[in-house]
């Protein structure tokens, strides 16, 4: 069962409420406010705490949406509020860090207990592949730029730069 009822998240005209549910964002001392953006305040639930706790194990945010609002489409609308978006970026980063921490704890525990995958786990920790992660788009662009510069230098040194530009313009080479 959801924390909030349909009457709490929709107006009588069936329009979804957003900022009026959050103490710091409501326009006036709104009696509809249920959440606070940071730590718990008397009479308000920390949306930050709820979100992070529930999305560590479910990054899709579906469990959070269903348990808090009882309505995933409502959550899709709610999270598009431009003021809330900046908070969600921070909260998602925190949840991701906690998720990675849990994963690292499992890997380290595998090494400590010398489980059947302890060798692979130890190697993973030693190799630190998470530190060498590069965006494939950046890598592809870098390779393309390097190849173009190499071709340009080759043709330029031989006096063919004008021909190279003409062939590219005509679409005969890329």
Which token pair is 97? 């860090």
Q: DSSP labels for 64-85?
A: HHHHHTS-HHHHHHHTT-HHHH
Give the pLDDT confidence score for residue 167 in this predicted structure: 76
Are 62 and 128 found together in one domain?
no
Give the pLDDT confidence score for residue 152 in this predicted structure: 58
Contacts of residue 65, Cβ cutoff 8 Å, sequence gap at least 6 = 71, 72, 74, 75, 76
The boundaries of the domain holding residue 126 are: 101-132
User: Residue written as tokens 């609308």?
Assistant: 77
Contacts of residue 153, Cβ cutoff 8 Å, sequence gap at least 6 = none
Give the pLDDT confidence score for residue 25 in this predicted structure: 83
- Percentage of the chain beyond pLDDT 70 is 80
Domain count across the chain: 3
Let me know: does 18 contact 84? Beta carbons within 8 Å. Answer: yes
pLDDT digits (tens, 9 = 90+) for 104-122: 999 898 889 888 888 888 8
Please give the average per-residue pLDDT across 8-15, as a whole number.
88
Are 10 and 82 found together in one domain?
yes
pLDDT exceeds cutoff 80 at 56: yes
pLDDT exceeds cutoff 80 at 147: no
């Amino acid at each position: 069962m959801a924390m909030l009822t349909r009457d709490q998240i929709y107006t009588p005209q069936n329009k979804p409420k957003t900022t009026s549910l959050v103490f710091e964002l409501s326009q006036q001392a709104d009696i509809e406010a249920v959440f606070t953006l940071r730590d718990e305040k008397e009479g308000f639930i920390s949306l930050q705490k709820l979100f992070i706790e529930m999305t560590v194990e479910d990054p899709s945010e579906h469990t959070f949406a269903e348990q808090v609002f009882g309505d995933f489409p409502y959550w899709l609308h709610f999270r598009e509020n431009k003021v809330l978006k900046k908070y969600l970026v921070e909260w998602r980063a925190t949840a991701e860090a906690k998720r990675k921490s849990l994963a690292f704890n499992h890997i380290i525990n595998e090494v400590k207990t010398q489980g059947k995958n302890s060798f692979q786990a130890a190697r993973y920790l030693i190799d630190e592949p998470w530190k060498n992660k590069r965006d494939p788009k950046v890598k592809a662009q870098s390779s393309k730029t390097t190849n173009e510069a190499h071709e340009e230098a080759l043709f330029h040194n031989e006096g063919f730069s004008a021909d190279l530009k003409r062939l590219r313009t005509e679409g005969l080479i890329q």
